[in-house]
Amino acid sequence: MRKRIAIYRRLFHRGDAHRGSGIARRVAMLAGACACAVVVFAAEHSTSYGASLITNVGNGDFAPSYIMANNGGVFTQPNSLLARAQMEYALTDVGRFSFYIGGDVIGGGSSATKYGLYDVAAGKNNYRDVSASKVWLQQLYGTAEYRNVFLTLGMRERGSVFVNQELSSGDMCLSGNTRPMPGVAAGFIDFCNIPLTGGWVQICGELGYFKALDSKWLENHYNYRNYNITTGYVFHYKYLHLRTNPSKPFSLTIGMQSACQIGGKSITYFNGAKLSEVSAKVGVKQLLKAFVPGSGGSGGDTYYEGNHLGTWDVMGRYRLASGDEVKVYYQSPWEDGSGIGKLNGFDGLYGIEYMSTRQGIIDGAVIEYIDLMNQSGPIHWAPGDFAGTPMQGEATGADDYYNNYFYNGYQYNGLSLGTPLIRTAIYNTDGYLRITDNRLRGFHAAVTGHLTPDVKYVAKIGYRRSHGTPLVPLIKSRSATSMLIEGSYNCTGKLEGLTVKGQVAGDFGSLLGNNFGVMVAVSYNGLF
């Protein structure tokens, strides 16, 4: 009590000469403290939670590609029974500050796929069954937001910053197709106005560094016979998009995404024997070179350290009188200066999207065409690679999208970090870790809507034909036709928060094999 009285005296009494101003000042200080307390107590504290039971059954070596694609790398095997538990605590509206912390655990069992892994002692391939993890941490993160900026630490699922995550075939740079990597990312939550433009130009962007933790997956799937295995790299991602005034009927978005794999240890084998081992360290210098590409050394690209790639992104959006929107978009991939300079011809992802403002039979639809046949030409020749050569001409081709001599392709846990339309290492049952089919053409179409207010459907169909890679072309092209039909029912009334979802999907053709499957998921989401 005496201590409290002393505090009050210090607040309200500092001598008669300045009593008036002192009391006013201290009253203001106390009022400010009370206001802060009111803000904190008035902030919204909430805890959301979710639990799911998911099973899929089918034939073939893998789950159908539309079940696998853009789902955080959760589903890969043709048969599985998984339980998933998620929780997120949120503190919001504290002086424009919000904070979120969450976790997500998945566990269960799944069928296995046979991989031919080389046995050095026996001098032959021994086929081994490899299945998905029994239990894994899918997400664990903390995110702080202030005004329109965010900072995230940990592993958090994400989708594309450019295309429709539910309906598109996938973003060509970072699609949300794999499990999330742990790391740190910061950027804008949404587009914000650029000063002095009168609201006519907006900006949005992000910058992040992440650590690849798929070493065990690579070691379990590598054949230890030929080529290399690279583990422990750092992944860097950034993007910058500019957009014109979205309140107008027409708006334009343009920008670039950029990604880089840097560092790691690469071991090369030849006929089952270890040939070489190279480690590329990662320090402040290397992280800066990932952000602003710089000359590399051992373990990096000959000219730029790390494996750099990205996309040019362009989108036009038109709002109809009804409020419905139509978007036309284009992603142009690049692996080096030739792609950045658009010397790769017609290559890219072309799409058109329709989104309705009203719930009905058709809520949204997407049609896409992908063409990766040019790759800046079939030949790469740079005189600087060969000292003293009389051939001074230059051909900056054979871009070999998503492949790099040091890294095992642009993938994580065997799935593409970019577009899921390419065939990645998980399909290589011979234990080869690189991407074998990046030179392709194809199309994708998807539609979603509501049959009733509580019953939603999604339908997808796609086709792609591959010709191999620029450096290893196929003698005979191979193709895949894929389809998916999904229906979900959101229970209302006493069972609010309960959702039942079913999927039927399949792949047909020589590119991915014949995979047919059915998935059923029952989930419940609530809020404390």
Mean pLDDT, residues 512-525:
96
- Does residue 174 surpass a pLDDT of 80? yes
With beta carbons less than 8 A apart as the criterion, state whether 381 and 391 touch.
Answer: yes
Residues whose CB falls within 8 Å of the CB of residue 528, separated by 6 or more in sequence, listed in order: 46, 47, 48, 49
Q: What pLDDT score was predicted for residue 386?
A: 67
pLDDT surpasses 80 at 126? no
pLDDT value, residue 477: 97
Residues 387, 519 within the same domain:
yes
Token pair 């094999």 is found at 513
| Band of residue 2 on the pLDDT scale cut at 50, 70, 90 | very low
Q: How many CB atoms lie within 10 A of CB 142?
A: 14
Residues 261/289, Cβ–Cβ less than 8 Å: no
Distance CA 366, CA 356 (A): 12
Task: Judge residue 487's burial from the number of C-beta atoms within 10 Å of its C-beta, 0-12 exposed, 13-18 middle, 19 or more buried.
Answer: middle
Query: For residue 488, what is the domain's CATH number?
Result: 2.40.160.130
Q: How many CB atoms lie within 10 A of CB 176?
A: 20
pLDDT digits (tens, 9 = 90+) for 421-475: 999 999 999 889 999 999 999 999 999 999 999 999 999 999 999 999 999 999 9
Confidence check: pLDDT of 374 > 60: yes
The answer on 84 and 48 residing in a single domain is: yes
Pair 310, 257: CB distance under 8 Å = yes
Residues 141 and 154 sit within 8 Å (Cβ to Cβ): yes
DSSP structure string for 495-520? GTTEEEEEEEEEEESTTT--EEEEEE
Q: Tell whether the model's pLDDT for residue 219 goes beyond 60.
A: yes
Per-residue confidence band for 129, with pLDDT thresholds at 50, 70 and 90: confident
Query: What is the DSSP secondary-structure string of 70-131?
Result: TSTT---SSSEEEEEEEEEEEEEEETTEEEEEEEEEEEEEE-EEEEEEEETTTTEEEEEEEE
Strands (E) across 305-439 are located at 307-319, 325-334, 348-355, 364-371, 380-381, 395-396, 411-412, 415-416
Residue 371 in tokens: 């063409």
**pLDDT beyond 50 at 60:** yes
Distance CA 523, CA 83 (A): 10
- Token reading at 264: 């790691």
For residue 114, the cross-strand partners are 129
How many alpha carbons fall within 13 Å on the CB side of residue 519? Answer: 28
Residue 249 neighbours by CB under 8 Å, 6+ apart: 318, 319
Give, as one character, the DSSP assignment of residue 437: B
Q: Are residues 190 and 316 in the same domain?
A: yes
Instruction: Give me the mean pLDDT over the 310-333 stretch.
Output: 97
Segments forming the whole domain that contains residue 240: 43-527
Region 39-44: mean pLDDT is 56
pLDDT tens-digit profile of 21-34?
A: 454 455 455 445 44
Cα separation, 153 vs 211, in Å, equals 12
Torsion of CA 102, 103, 104, 107, to 10 degrees: -170
- The verdict on 315 and 365 lying in the same domain is yes
- Looking at the fold, whether 337 and 403 belong to one and the same domain comes out as yes
Is the pLDDT confidence value at 297 over 90?
A: no
Say whether both 377 and 515 belong to one domain: yes
At residue 124, the pLDDT reads 66
Per cent of the chain over pLDDT 70 is 86
Beta strand pairing status for 325-334 and 455-468? unpaired
Residues 296, 351 within the same domain: yes
Q: What share of the chain in percent tops pLDDT 90?
A: 71
Query: Are residues 38 and 67 located together in one domain of the fold?
Result: no
Contact 498, 53 (CB under 8 A): no
Between 77-81, 166-170, 428-432, 499-503, the lowest mean confidence (pLDDT) is in 428-432
Average pLDDT, the chain: 88
Question: Which candidate, 267, 217, 251, 255, places its Cα nearest to that of 428?
Answer: 217
Query: Would you place residue 270 in the very low, low, confident or very high pLDDT band (cuts 50, 70, 90)?
Result: confident
Q: Are residues 382 and 307 in the same domain?
A: yes
Rounded to whole angstroms, the Cα distance separating 262 from 296 reads 10
Residues 91, 33, single domain; the answer is: no
Name the least confident of 149-158, 263-272, 505-514.
263-272
Q: How far is CA 476 from CA 50, 342, 374, in A?
A: 47, 29, 18
19-28, 43-52, 63-72 — which one is most confidently predicted on average? 63-72
Write the pLDDT tens digit of every residue in 388-428. Answer: 777 776 667 789 999 998 999 999 999 999 999 999 999 99
Task: Please name the residues in contact with 121: beta carbons below 8 A apart, sequence gap of 6 or more.
Answer: none
Domain count, the chain: 2
- Answer whether residue 135 shows pLDDT above 70: yes
Residue 143 sits in the same domain as residue 11: no
Same domain, 514 and 414: yes
Confidence of residue 280 (pLDDT cuts 50, 70, 90): confident
